[in-house]
Amino acid sequence: MPFGLTNAPATFSTLMNQVLHGFLDEFVVVYLDNIVVYSGTLAEHVEHLRQVLMRLREHELYTNVSKCSFAQETISFLGHIVERGRIRMDPKKVQAIEE
């Protein structure tokens, strides 16, 4: 779906919320076409990823593997660095604001 269309982001967000219902706020966060899967252990993470990828496949939605990162302990998401028990501003974003 081309995101240049006025309602495309809202429509896609609604679709993703419907597709991933039951996973949201349990082990998934979605923002537009960004899906974050979080888990307490690597074994849990593998299972959560399997569930999410199967659900996407059931709805004929597929990931671009070159844009995916798996089993990360620290991620940059929406201008923040997120890691176990800690969220902070992304220094790159802070620097851009300061300049």
The proportion of the chain whose per-residue pLDDT surpasses 70, expressed as a percent, equals 95
Task: Tell me the per-residue pLDDT of 27-58, one tens digit each, with 9 for 90 and over.
Answer: 999 998 899 999 999 999 999 999 999 999 99
Check residue 5 and report its DSSP letter.
S
CA distances from 60 to 15, 28, 56, 63, 95 (A): 12, 19, 6, 10, 40
pTM, entire model: 0.80
| DSSP assignment string, 35-78 | EEE--SSHHHHHHHHHHHHHHHHHTT----GGG---S-SEEEET
